[in-house]
Amino acid sequence: MRILVADHISEEALEKLRELGEVVFRPEISREELLNEIRKAEVLVVRSRTKVDREVISKGERLKVIARPGVGLDNIDLEAAKERGIKVLNTPGAVTEAVAELVFAHLLSLLRRIPEANESLRKGEWIKKDLIGEELYGKTMGIVGFGRIGSRVAEISKAFGMRVLVFDPYVKAEGFEQVDSLDELVRKSDFVSIHVPLTEETKGLFKEETLKNMKEGAVLINTSRGGVVEQKALFKFLKSGRIRACLDVFEREPPGEDALFSIGTEKLSVSPHIGASTIESQRRAGLELVDRIKEAMGLG
């Protein structure tokens, strides 16, 4: 069995894959090289960086499995894979803790003004009186999407002493207060955390009309997919000071020199799609993926 690994995965997972067959490890593979290498592969392992579209899938004459350590599958043409009878695997449970913790890392950093405190102190300044922050306790956390990550964020929010509101038309949020519409959630929440996949239904879900209904000074947190939020509309509201945001994902990745980054750290906290980037998460995702590949290939 030939396994093409087109992105970085943990060394432990790589060793486990080598026990299953021949592994071609090409973490920085170009599209042209991918189109060539995929012809000989039975298993393709990718992360979000690698786009597996219809053209790539059509070249995979021997391809049986496309495996993605992580949650999102929006970089894979699922319809094309289905037509070819190719199994598409992911590891949604492996990244739950890492992404949920990043939500609060961003939020606390923004509210307690950690970047400003850090930078000023390194400049030799002592501006303690200027760095008045905000607490989580007693605030309302609105969660959009009550899957593994959304439900974990709800649990952590509750532990911080926050009121939790949930909007998810497909899942019952046992033990938490559920609202009937997205607009109701954004009107009532101090913080809004997004945990939905990028689909035709969720693309541009947070458009100008939705953002303008958020509370004055509320914080939008997106660790799911950039396309769920209309970035131009978000920029407009951030620039006006109407709302704030914590973003780990963007409409285009890497985003380059986007106007969004002209917004100061007191209004915007950003990171380069590192939600699943912890040692523990990468290990879990890699090992779970190996098990799923073994099962899919009848080796379990």
d(CA 233, CA 206): 9
d(CA 212, CA 229): 13
| Longest alpha-carbon distance in the chain | 65
What letter does residue 248 receive in the DSSP assignment?
S
Which of 75, 107, 48 has its CA nearest to residue 273?
Answer: 48
Please identify every residue annotated as catalytic.
225, 253, 273
Which of 74, 73, 68 has its CA nearest to residue 91?
Answer: 68
CB atoms within 10 A of CB 167: 23
User: Tokens for 262?
Assistant: 């002209």
Phi, psi angle pair for 150, to nearest 5°: -60, -40
d(CA 12, CA 282): 10
Phi, psi angle pair for 295, to nearest 5°: -65, -45
| Alpha carbon 134 to its chain's center | 25
Cα dihedral 47/48/54/56 (nearest 10):
-40
